[in-house]
Amino acid sequence: MRHLVIGSGGREHALGWKLLQQPESEVYFLPGNGGTAGIGTNIDIPPTDLAAVASYVEKTKPDLVTVGPEDPLAMGLVDRLRELGVPVFGPTSDCARIESSKVFAKTLMSRYSIPTAPYKVFDSPTEAHAYVERVRKPLVVKADGLAKGKGAIVTKHKTDAHRAVESIMEKRTFGAAGDRVVVEERLAGEEASVIAVTDGERYVLLPPSQDHKPAYDGDRGPNTGGMGAYCPAPVVDEDMLDYVREAVFDRLLRGFHKEGLDYRGVLYAGLMIVSGRVYVIEFNARFGDPETQCTMPVIDIDLGNLMLDAARGSIAKTRVVRPARWAISVVLASGGYPGGYEKGKRISGIDKAEAEEDVVVFHAGTRQEDGGSLATSGGRVLAVTGMGQSLRGARRKAYTAARDIKFAGVQMRTDIGAKGLMRAKKMGVM
Ligand code: AMP
Ligand code: GLY
């Protein structure tokens, strides 16, 4: 199969790596990064230039186009490419509102009884402030629209919540994304990600994973795009997964149906587990990053065929994919990330890291320099992934390999997978 994968992150590198495990596969990345250039062909077009992408697709007619990031999904890239008669994996912009509008997502969740935190919607800052003043519980204030993953402000005190409303609605930090806000109750628990690939009717559930969003060890510091993840995540046990199928995915797909929406692509449920009870914190319309980097290595399935079936509406039946092993991805980030950071730092040691058995290094912010060397070009630079028959083994692999890789200012968390390890030990699955 000839694949076109849209995006430039570690997620897209991992998807391409997985697709290439099928014989006779070829992958083009648009625009890709320094790592994808090593396994396929990079096409230098920005994914948000819909006209340019459409004209490239029309010319080259790939067997399947997979759209990775949320921005082109929200902008309607899938709608546009479907008109060309090419199979496209990803939801249309109407459906992608499940991620691009928190108000839409919350409305669907309450309409179709999907467990989520109690909330209110405001389009006036005065009313939002008045509500914050009245409520006595800790709150989360969320910009309605896409905000590069930064639009949810978790607050401790009333003053933080007022400040969040001011920042989103009055200072318009995220622009028009802050025209409306969702103000919801803050939940305290452990997060997990559950990802389904769906054709609108049936779905294939991938093993649950767990991201680590805060920048520093012990879940301290500012939120990032994700500093590491592991899969499977033992916090979501069999019973809970059964519950999530029924109470989240079945209900949501029934909901889409009733709303007259045909959802094809990834449905990602970000969960908060509070004393064994599941709440949906958010839905995404795409694979997670860095969850994809640790999920692809644990699933022994033909991903290309699955995504093609989803695009065509022909998934044979709903099923759950069992993990064949454990994997853990440790993100190496640029010094200073998620704040300001420098680019262009020379990276060494990837060959040594990858020479280890059961290690794969997925690239995100890397660029191939003239002369063949590799340099940093983004906040999250690499996701060093270790695999093994135990979480402990996978973790050892990932950290040994991560320490082989050097660039000036490199920053990583040293406790990725620690929560999983503790839980796995307790459950006797180590
Ligand atoms: P979201 O953009 O909705 O996914 O939120 C980003 C992050 O904010 C989540 O991954 C959580 O860590 C945190 N968060 C969002 N909503 C809540 C909530 N109701 N309670 C506690 N934390 C939350
Ligand atoms: N890792 C969180 C996300 O992809 O949104």
CATH at residue 148: 3.30.1490.20
Question: Which CATH number goes with the domain that contains 62?
Answer: 3.40.50.20
Instruction: Give, using CA atoms, the residue closest to atom 15 of ligand 1.
Output: 281
153-165 pLDDT per residue, tens: 999 999 999 999 9
- What integer best gives the mean pLDDT of the chain? 96
Instruction: Determine the pLDDT at residue 430.
Output: 52
Q: Are residues 34 and 82 in the same domain?
A: yes
Output the six-digit token pair for 369: 């320099």
Q: Are residues 20 and 81 in the same domain?
A: yes
What does the alpha-carbon distance between residue 74 and residue 251 come to, in Å, rounded to a whole number?
A: 23
CA of 277 to the centre of ligand 1 (A): 16
99-121 pLDDT per residue, tens: 999 999 999 999 999 999 999 99
Q: Which atom of ligand 1 is nearest to the CA of 117?
A: 19
In a domain, 344, yes or no: no
Instruction: Report the domain count for the chain.
Output: 2
65 neighbors 16 (Cβ within 8 angstroms): no
Instruction: Determine the pLDDT at residue 424.
Output: 81
Mind giving me the DSSP string for 52-72? HHHHHHHHH--SEEEE-SHHH
CA angle 218, 330, 64 (to 5 degrees): 130
Instruction: Give, using CA atoms, the residue closest to atom 4 of ligand 1.
Output: 282
Q: Which atom of ligand 2 is nearest to the CA of 291?
A: 1
162-198 pLDDT per residue, tens: 999 999 999 999 999 999 999 999 999 999 999 999 9
Output the six-digit token pair for 17: 């790596």
Ligand 1 site, residue 213, Cβ cutoff 6 A: yes
Q: Are residues 14 and 65 in the same domain?
A: yes
Q: Are residues 24 and 86 in the same domain?
A: yes
In a domain, 9, yes or no: yes
Q: Is the pLDDT of residue 125 over 70?
A: yes
Q: Which atom of ligand 1 is nearest to the CA of 187?
A: 20
Instruction: Determine the pLDDT at residue 370.
Output: 84
Per-residue burial over 29-56, b if 16 or more Cβ lie within 10 Å, else e, is bbebbbbbbeebebbebebeebeebbeb
Please state the rounded mean pLDDT for residues 383-407.
Answer: 97
> Could you give the 3-state DSSP secondary structure of residue 368?
strand
In a domain, 78, yes or no: yes
Strand partners, 388: 326
Q: Are residues 20 and 82 in the same domain?
A: yes
Q: Are residues 51 and 128 in the same domain?
A: no
In a domain, 398, yes or no: no
Instruction: Determine the pLDDT at residue 173.
Output: 95
Among 179, 196, 223, the domain boundary falls at 179
Instruction: Determine the pLDDT at residue 327.
Output: 98
In a domain, 72, yes or no: yes
193-234 pLDDT per residue, tens: 999 999 999 999 999 999 999 999 999 998 898 999 999 999
In a domain, 134, yes or no: yes
CA of 266 to the centre of ligand 2 (A): 13
Which domain, by its residues, includes 153? 124-179
Q: Are residues 7 and 66 in the same domain?
A: yes
Q: Which ligand is nearest to the CA of 70?
A: 2
Instruction: Determine the pLDDT at residue 427.
Output: 72
In a domain, 136, yes or no: yes
49-65 pLDDT per residue, tens: 999 999 999 999 999 99
Which residues, judged by CB distance below 6 Å to any ligand atom, belong to the binding site of ligand 2? 211, 226, 284, 288-289, 291
Residue with tokens 């990725």: 416
Q: Are residues 87 and 135 in the same domain?
A: no
Q: Are residues 88 and 16 in the same domain?
A: yes
Ligand 1 site, residue 420, Cβ cutoff 6 A: no
232-261 pLDDT per residue, tens: 999 999 999 999 999 999 999 999 999 999
Which H or E run contains 387? Answer: strand 380-388
Strand partners, 386: 328, 359
Instruction: Determine the pLDDT at residue 149.
Output: 81
CA of 139 to the centre of ligand 1 (A): 10
Instruction: Determine the pLDDT at residue 425.
Output: 77
Please state the rounded mean pLDDT for residues 137-150.
Answer: 93
In a domain, 140, yes or no: yes
Q: Are residues 81 and 132 in the same domain?
A: no
25-53 pLDDT per residue, tens: 999 999 999 999 999 999 999 999 999 99
Cβ neighbourhood burial of 264 (10 Å; 0-12, 13-18, 19+): buried
